[in-house]
Amino acid sequence: MKNLYKYIFAAMLTLGTVTSCSDFLDDSPKGVVDQNKAFKLPDDMVNSAYAMLGDCWYSYPFNLWPYGDLSSDDCLKGGSGTTDTGYHPMEIWSTMTSTPGEFDELWYRLYCAVSRCNRALLSLEQYGNSKLGEEMTKQRVAEVKFLRAHFYFKLITMFRQVPWIDENVTKNNLQEKTRNDEFTYQELFGKIINDFKEAYDVLPEMQKEQNRVNRVAAAAYLAKCYLTLAYGDGYEATNGYDHINKEYMQKVIEYTNVVKNSPYFGYLEDYGDIFLPEHKNSKESVFAVQTSDYKDDNTTFGRANWSNVLNGVWGMWSCGWDFHKPSQDLVNAFKTKNGLPEFDDYNKHIDYPVNGQTTTQKWDPRLFHTVGMPTFPYKYEKEYTLTKANSRTPNTYGYYCSMKEVPQRSKGETYNGSWQAFAMNDYVFRFSDVMLMRAEALIETDQLAEARIIINDIRQRAKNSVDKHIAYAKDQCEIALYPESYFKDKETARKCLRWERRLELAMENGRYFDLRRWGLASKTLNAYFATEKNDVYDGQTYATYLKDAHYTAGKNEFYPIPYNQLYYVPGLYKQNKNY
């Protein structure tokens, strides 16, 4: 594991210190970037900011899977046991403190990314017009502000009260004087929104270099910001359905309309294709962190997705470490009766399908695209059928595995070594995610009929996603569209929306943040802990460690400010509530 216990301020000073060796050596150091030379190349500085999108590692995953999935009712940690990595507190909550190194690493690396953005903005300010021209400089500034807002969205999602360090703070070397309570949560979101809004106002709908950020991606992010703010301040006592801001919900509708009407984006026809690398930049992908295989980019190892390096299944890959394990509660949530979810009864009994055994219990087809289960093909390939031997610690974490973030086994391995990585893009926004945000806002503004159309469009795509990849499970699948009666009242419509987000986006790193937004985290998670600790698969019990789990509202909604950050400059930062 990388021990990267550094601090935010070191990140902000990186370029300023790489030439300090000249005080001690006669020769200029080799293999480093001279600050003055770098600043005079504004387009290269912008590229360096882009490079931070995928500059992640399993102990500081920028996709936040340990904090959005592992901390929810969708996922168990996995690995060799509860002490494998520092992520165990995230799945039981009761032992969470500010000391895990993973918190510190994530904070530090995200602020490294912010620093790259700030320095790119300073370079553009000083050299942009002369090197790139006024119009291109304006566009590059908008791109960098999008990137900075992207990293700050992750910081505020995790830690809530974070210091706002922008190009002016960097220019004036005020990093060690910038408090994390200088701005309120709402004011910080306002700054993030301002950055995304500048990107939205300036950028084209699609760039010639298509992997650059664009106006539609900015619209998706603006919708996400307003959707989050529409429910309140994030803490359950002052957040949730009793605190809806309908003006913000209208903003969600406004910005998702931009995505909806773009000719470049839409529903990919088959759900399974979304998670195959050959479709990673399809119309479904509104914004994704790009990866590449070494065969494609002519580098030694490619640009792998290092956030998910632990998540290959045990025994299937040369180094599959078997993390990110779907919960039984999630599997049960895919149950259907007459094609519709079993909202109230889904978790009364432990059930799971067995390949070739047809029973009266039917399942939403998305289960077989999302969760790897013994007896079923791994990622659609019968020659790589899963068995119970493909679980590293079944007595702790059971037999299920996650399939969305991995390629098919027959396609080979991106990186062959002790760390198994994959050239799988990280979706930040899929089209269906944005449309479900739109449906959520429509429900809260009493436009239930249109919300039903969106949700049923997504369910229809799932219904159509059987024959191509999961024909072996056809007799076990049943899914129907919601009748009008389910959208006659807001409470039932909300339930349909919440269920659809869970199934459609399962194991895509956001479930906990959804529960927090709705003000349902404590109720949902504590009920989950009470049942999931009794897991059993074919006689094997597991997840008994959840007997020690408990989620405390008024504290656990946000993660603690890392200990090392709190005491780097004593008194500068204030800890989150009740930690």
Q: Which domains, from first to last, does the chain contain? A: 306-509 (1.25.40.390)
Inter-axis angle of helices 101-123 and 134-159, nearest 10: 160
Per DSSP, what are the bridge partners of residue 540?
Answer: 537
In a 10 Å sphere around its CB, with 0-12 CB exposed, 13-18 middle and 19+ buried, how is residue 290 labelled? middle
Radius of gyration of the chain (CA): 23
User: d(Cα 304, Cα 412) in Å, to the nearest integer?
Assistant: 13
User: What confidence tens digit (pLDDT) does each residue in 193-211 have?
Assistant: 999 999 999 999 999 998 8
User: d(Cα 501, Cα 522) in Å, to the nearest integer?
Assistant: 18
* Structural contact between residues 523 and 418, judged by C-beta atoms closer than 8 angstroms: no
How many helices and strands, by DSSP H and E, does the chain display? 23, 13
- How do the residues of the chain divide into helix, strand and coil, expressed in percent and rounded to 5? 50, 10, 40
User: d(Cα 350, Cα 336) in Å, to the nearest integer?
Assistant: 14
User: What confidence tens digit (pLDDT) does each residue in 420-443 have?
Assistant: 788 899 999 999 999 999 999 999
* Structural contact between residues 220 and 255, judged by C-beta atoms closer than 8 angstroms: yes
Q: What does each of the 579 residues of the chain score in pLDDT, given as a tens digit? A: 333 333 333 343 333 333 333 333 344 544 455 777 889 999 999 999 999 999 999 999 999 999 999 999 999 999 999 999 999 999 999 999 999 999 999 999 999 999 999 999 999 999 999 999 999 999 999 999 999 999 999 999 999 999 999 999 999 999 999 999 999 999 999 999 999 999 999 999 999 998 899 999 999 999 999 999 999 999 999 999 999 999 999 999 999 999 999 999 999 999 999 999 999 999 999 999 999 887 777 777 778 899 999 999 999 998 899 999 999 999 999 999 999 999 999 999 999 999 999 899 999 999 999 999 999 999 999 999 999 999 999 999 999 999 999 999 998 776 656 677 888 999 999 999 999 999 999 999 999 999 999 999 999 999 999 999 999 999 999 999 999 999 999 999 999 999 999 999 999 999 999 999 999 999 999 999 999 999 999 999 999 999 999 999 999 999 999 999 999 899 999 999 999
Single pTM value for the model? 0.94
- C-beta neighbour count of 539 within 10 angstroms: 5
